[in-house]
Amino acid sequence: MSEAATLDRPAATDAARPLVVDNLTKHYPIHRGILNREVARVHAVDGVSFDLGAGETLGLVGESGCGKSTVGRCILRLVEPTSGTIRLGDDDITHLDRGAMRPHRQDLQAIFQDPYSSLNQRMRAGEIVAEPLVNFGQPADRAHIASLFERVGLRPEQMDHYPHEFSGGQRQRLVIAKALALEPSVIVCDEAVSALDVSVQAQVINLLTELQRERGIAYLFIAHDLAVVEHISHRIAVMYLGQIVELAEKRALFEDPLHPYTRALLNAVPIPDPEVTRDRTIIGGDVPSPLNPPKGCRFNTRCPLAFDRCRSEAPAYREVKPGHYAACHLND
């Protein structure tokens, strides 16, 4: 699918689409023997393409190990992509080294799952939020930091507290304040609410949504839970074994899924209404190893609708309906 995965849209040259990912691939070679020969490759990400508009949230979902976090880490330049292109605004950041990437860090921030490990336990909360401003030579006076605290629902007097004095939800608010400090245009949220209680998840999602409306921030929201992604996303991309198999506006994806894997994920989402029943087709088997992905369609070993062609020919990832992309022979 990697060749066919490019969206047929023009390259990004404007601030309206702050992030464009084109045919992104990340393979991890495995070396063995005295000559350290490459004997295999882990296909973590294979030909992933999408764009992200200003003020838009794109949800990236899939089972664990499908490569969604690797996509986020490639964009953040925490791992080096094998091939493909990542554009932030007008700039190609695909292979920038740490120094060259520094000016772009202001525009590209991250929120990870475990706020406890991403906060320096020896710094006071106010210093943590001020740190990126100080690093980039921007004003970091106490009044400004206090306003950031208030904006994310923390009290200004908490600036003098240490991270261990905050609850899990408050720590995630602290991370959000830190991510906001430099006024980025894109934030990668990698399982940002997965570790929180359900009621706190809703509060943090509401906060992220309000901040997006105010500031036009674009979120790449990576999560395994489709119900959470549904609440915050405008569009949703579904990943399976290193590839995007379907991408569409949220409503289109939920009402008219075009890929059997998406249908199976949707069927697994609980409905809080005993009157409503749903097809409960369960997909069998385990996700195949990314070391040796199946030939043809990567989903063929688990797909209840697979037929001969699926085992020999990879389906093209194409626009089946306006703005609705999918990779399945059944849409031909």
Q: Which residues make up the interface to ligand SF4 (CB under 6 A)?
A: 259-260, 297, 299-300, 303, 305-306, 310, 315, 328-330
State how far the Cα of 148 lies from the Cα of 121, in Å rounded to an integer. Answer: 20
Rank residues 145 and 297 by Cβ distance to ligand SF4 and give the closer one: 297
Rank residues 32 and 311 by Cβ distance to ligand SF4 and give the closer one: 311
Rank residues 206 and 289 by Cβ distance to ligand SF4 and give the closer one: 289
Lookup result for tokens 């245009």: 185
Rank residues 41 and 329 by Cβ distance to ligand SF4 and give the closer one: 329
Smallest separation (angstroms) from ligand SF4 to the CB of 72:
25
Smallest separation (angstroms) from ligand SF4 to the CB of 320:
12
Smallest separation (angstroms) from ligand SF4 to the CB of 296:
7
Smallest separation (angstroms) from ligand SF4 to the CB of 313:
8
Rank residues 79 and 316 by Cβ distance to ligand SF4 and give the closer one: 316
CA distances from 197 to 63, 163, 193, 330 (A): 20, 18, 8, 39
Rank residues 66 and 174 by Cβ distance to ligand SF4 and give the closer one: 66
Smallest separation (angstroms) from ligand SF4 to the CB of 240:
9
Smallest separation (angstroms) from ligand SF4 to the CB of 69:
23
Rank residues 146 and 328 by Cβ distance to ligand SF4 and give the closer one: 328
State how far the Cα of 214 lies from the Cα of 203, in Å rounded to an integer. Answer: 17
Q: Is 158 exposed, middle or buried (0-12, 13-18, 19+ CB in 10 A)?
A: middle
Smallest separation (angstroms) from ligand SF4 to the CB of 300:
4
